[in-house]
Structure 1
Amino acid sequence: MTVLPDAKLYIDGVVRDAEGGKTFDIIGPWTGASVGVAADASAADVEAAIAAARRAFDHTDWSTNTALRVDLVQKLYDLFDANRDRLSDLARNEAGAAMGAVGRAHVDMAMDGFADYIRIFPKVEWEKDYGVRPAFGFDHDRKAVREAVGVVAAITPWNVPFYVNVGKVAAALLAGCTVILKPAPNTPGMGAIFGEFAAQLSFPAGVLNVITSEDPALVGEMLVADPRVDLISFTGSTGVGKRIMEKGAATLKRVFLELGGKSAKIVLEDAPNFQMEIASSMLVFHAGQGCAVQSRLLVHKSRYAEAVAILKGAYAAFSEKWGAFDEPTHIMGPVVSQRQKDRVMSYIELGQQEGATLIAGGKAATDKGGGFFIEPTCFADVTNDMRIAQEEIFGPVLVVIPFEDDEDAIRIANDSAYGLGGGVASADLDRAMKIARRVRTGTMSVNGGMSIAGDIPFGGYKASGMGREWGVEGIEEFLETKLIAVRL
């Protein structure tokens, strides 16, 4: 049943169909059936978008007309703000967001971040004076200036698509870049709406382009290989991130990569309100489909059995509190696709084969309808060398690992290819801060501190990526530094 508007391409200032009118179905995670159609771009469509973005950067004043950029980005924010209900429909029907999740990461948090970008944009330093220095008998006055990097390809995922689209598109436009947005095949409408609104606001032709495609690789491969694209900003899996680095090397393309995670939450034996700390660690928000979710729960061995008992009770109490499309209190719905469901279920089977103890869930939830539902799942008796503790599952699967002391907790947390998020809970703030400083990860939450917001930088260490999104640093990712020296 079609419930969403058609997702069209937006190329060179025009909202249009793909070459030959080709389309593909958008499959709704709640039903497993089509909820709309999207334009299926051809190689010629991608070529047209790249050419338009290059032309707009090289032959218009977009990169230097700061007042125009700020005005249009503000108007784009205002238009999205007036259409939050439509954004909610897209998040629910394309990404499978539960109603209680829409008001958090999917729409409201994204809009807060959008507003943060506009608010902090004046803090970007466009010039830096290095002063006068004598050399070779003359004085030389040195100044660094910042300028837009050029054409940006933003390749975005399906889990929280509007949030990530804003994080890339708003920052790049404010920086003075032109943009080609390539949303994931599962969530094309949340990308197409950027083109629709840009057209309504009469954005200069070519400044923003949106390409949707059923093929998960065609558009991205073209964007990464093309020398007219100056920077790739990618959020997604580590495997694809590695391929982008490899293929982008031929043109020495700049890359920003926000990749996978297997983040650890460390709960010390003195954690305040221990029961709530453990119970709130259930991995259920948006069915665990988040790169920075804390999917490894590390608990001091002296309270490990207590923690497992708390989790059993918490999961049992939660069993009837998820999976209803129209229930505003629910924060968990289906996973995004049959492919993702199969992947997550294979990890649940693997965890049992590895010898972990299944204390909650573990099955497909067939009573929820025809969509892609998996029960909230938790494994105890997990060791950190198990694959379910090392590999990103990207589903509602929590693993619980005991540790001996602070040093052991730090060792386990760092014994991972990833380094994106994490947390620590303790009544001793100094102790918690010492641990937070030693965990090799891009963000750390101490006693529930909010480590992700639009006005602060976000990104990872190791296989979790490179560069930072959000905050002033997120805008600066799209700038080059030019040093100008004048002989006096």
Structure 2
Amino acid sequence: MIATPPAQQLVDGKLSGASTGASYPILNPATGEEIGHAPDSSADDVDAAIAAARRAFDETDWSTDVALRVRCLRQLHQALLDHADDFRALTTAEVGMPGFMMGAAGFDVPVEGLKWVTDLLERYEWETDLGVARPMGIPSRRTVRREPVGVVAAITPWNVPTQINLAKIGPALAAGCTVVLKPAPDTPWVAAELGRLAAEHTDLPAGVLNVVTPRSNEVAAQLTSDPRVDMVSFTGSTNTGRAIMAAAAPTLKKVFLELGGKSAAIALDDADVAAVAGATAFAACIHAGQGCAITTRLVVPREKYDEAVDVAAATMESIGAKDPADPGAICGPVISQAQRDRVAGYLRLAEEEGGRIVTGGKVIDQPGFWVEPTVIAGLDNSSCLAQEEIFGPVLVVIPHDGDDDAVRIANDSAYGLSGSVDSGDLERARAVARRIRTGTLAVNGGVWFSPDAPFGGYKQSGLGREMGVAGFEEYLEMKTVAEPAGG
């Protein structure tokens, strides 16, 4: 049994079901069993949420009262800590996320990130004095002010929902914006629980934070086109990101997009290739490979290719796929039958393209949505398996012929989200890293994932940055004000 109360939407400060009474089932991806229901928010519900957010921004002092924002965000942070055990259990049940991830992206890091952005809010300088100048001969004192964007539609995916929900609503609320949060219909409950904690344990004014859980993409699309919404902050697939940009274009909304990835882990010829192969195979198994920044291309020296393939395969075989409630689980289920079928389609395509499945390669025949951790050899970087984001526990091993070739392979992608470089020579690794066009990069095992570090990508991996000061400032506008000098 899950101790968390049933999922409800939050609109204008009130927790409720959908106005139509409609709901849809929430499934545990490890078992396929129904564990609850979510309100199937209607077009009227979404409209009401937008209206409430607009009203709260325009008619309350939320956008100007920093002390109120600090107090409310600290209350929400404390509520998350107070309900941490139930929140973690809900995440494992609804998302299929292994418990070890709760100490990282599953729970602890996003909650720490909420505290970090609140601390930033307390010390942030909202005005910058540019001093006095004489533009066109007129002595003027210039000031740059930073002000909240306005109403933000935060649209989030199912893979690490609490991380992404908080990485959006935390900075947006801190900046003085009001928010309508729309989670993926595969994982509505953790978002609804975030809304409940905000409603019941904070002094957030009505309408500042709204949570709607429509199942229909058409209903959700209102958030991207409604003129009352000033900004859309979206994390998800690149194709959906394109559609959101198009929908936002007529009203020229500000758009933040964190999209797909096909990141390369590069071992140079002086690296410990076996260690890199083992670590990369481990990473590709985490949460069944359902992470946009996971390194899913292992790029190794040609002369050490067979060794890398063997180590990667042995690593994946040792990990296997386990119940996410098992304390030893690394690779749990994929989120849904649709995602399992998508991954299975790529595994068939691997063989059609001439690849060799070294280990795994099959759907696991048991309740829930399971895929074997899989290593694929024998494909080059032009293959679909090397170019397209699979979002499953699938690693493609690709040979390179030196540093220049490794850089070429890493950059030969529509994406540019993350990656890694390993070498026995740190300066050599740094030199290669500087040539790789990605938004985050690990060198010789360094870890970039932290609330104070900006995250985002180049190319078709998105626009803008999340987390860090840069992530906070995504939710701000800049206003330059000039006054007579000496006035």
Report the TM range for the smaller structure's normalisation: over 0.9
User: Contact conserved, 1:3 with 1:35, CA < 8 A, in 2?
Assistant: no
How far apart, CA to CA, are the structure 1 residues paired with 2:324 and 2:292? 23
TM-aligned CA distance change 1:136 to 1:281, over 3 Å: closer
Say yes or no: does 1:425 pair with 2:426.
no
The residue aligned with 1:335 is 334
- Write the distance in 2 (CA, Å) between the matches of 1:4 and 1:164: 20
TM-score for both structures, normalised by structure 2: 0.97
How far did residue 276 of structure 1 move? 2.2
Q: 1:182 aligns to what?
A: 182
Deviation, 1:100, is 2.2
Q: Are 2:33 and 1:10 equivalent residues in the alignment?
A: no
Does residue 296 of the first structure (1) align with residue 278 of the second (2)?
no
Native 8 Å contact 2:73 2:114 kept in 1 = no
- What value does the CA root-mean-square deviation take over the aligned residues? 1.3
Conserved in 2, the CA contact under 8 Å of 1:124 and 1:476?
Answer: no
Where in structure 2 are the equivalents of 1:36-435 lying within 5 Å? 36-200=36-200, 201-219=202-220, 221-272=221-272, 274-282=273-281, 283-319=284-320, 322-366=321-365, 369-435=366-432
Q: Is the 8 A contact 1:152 1:179 kept in 2?
A: yes
Gaps of 5+ in 1: none
Instruction: Find the partner of 1:486 among 471, 483, 487.
Output: 483
SS at match of 2:174: helix
Q: Provide the TM-score with structure 1 as the length reference.
A: 0.96
Matches within 5 A, 1:459-474: 459-474=456-471
Query: How far apart, in 1, do the equivalents of 2:137 and 2:323 lie?
Result: 77
In structure 2, the residue corresponding to 1:255 is in which secondary structure?
strand
Rounded Cα–Cα distance in structure 1 between residues aligned with 2:301 and 2:115: 40
User: Is residue 418–residue 441 contact of structure 2 (8 Å, CA) maintained in 1?
Assistant: yes
Aligned to 2:33: 33
Displacement of 1:133 after TM fit? 0.9
Quote the Cα distance in structure 2 between the aligned partners of 1:191 and 1:13. Answer: 15
**How many residues of Structure 1 are paired with residues of Structure 2 in the alignment?**
482
| CA deviation profile, 1:3-58 (whole Å, cap 9, x unmatched) | 75321110111111111211111111011121100111111111110000000000
- Once residues 424 and 457 of structure 1 are traced to their aligned partners in structure 2, the CA distance between those partners, rounded to angstroms, is 19
Compare 96-105 and 370-379 and name the one that shifted more. 96-105
Q: Matched residue of 2:61: which SS?
A: coil
Which amino acid in 2 is paired with 1:425? D
Deviation at 1:432, TM superposition (A): 0.5
Distance in 1 of aligned mates of 2:459 and 2:430: 21
- One-letter code aligned to 1:486: E
Gaps of 5+ in 2: none
For 2:317 and 2:394, locate their aligned partners in 1 and report how far apart those are by CA, in whole Å: 15
> Aligned partners of 1:373 and 1:483: how far apart in 2?
54
Partner of 2:441: 444
Equivalent position SS for 2:265: strand
- Is the Cα–Cα contact under 8 Å of residues 2 and 90 in structure 2 kept in the other structure? no
Q: Is the 8 A contact 2:183 2:212 kept in 1?
A: yes
Q: Distance in 2 between matches of 1:122 and 1:153?
A: 24
> Structure 1: which amino acid aligns with 2:204?
F
Deviation digits for residues 245-281 of structure 1, max 9, x if unmatched? 0110000000000000000010112114x32221111
- Farther off after superposition, 401-410 or 207-216: 207-216
One-letter identity of the residue aligned with 2:306: A
Q: Secondary structure at the match of 2:280?
A: coil
Structure-2 separation of matches of 1:60 and 1:14? 17
The share of aligned pairs that are identical, in percent, is: 49
CA deviations 1:143-188 (Å, max 9, x no partner) are 1000000000000000000000000001100000000000100111
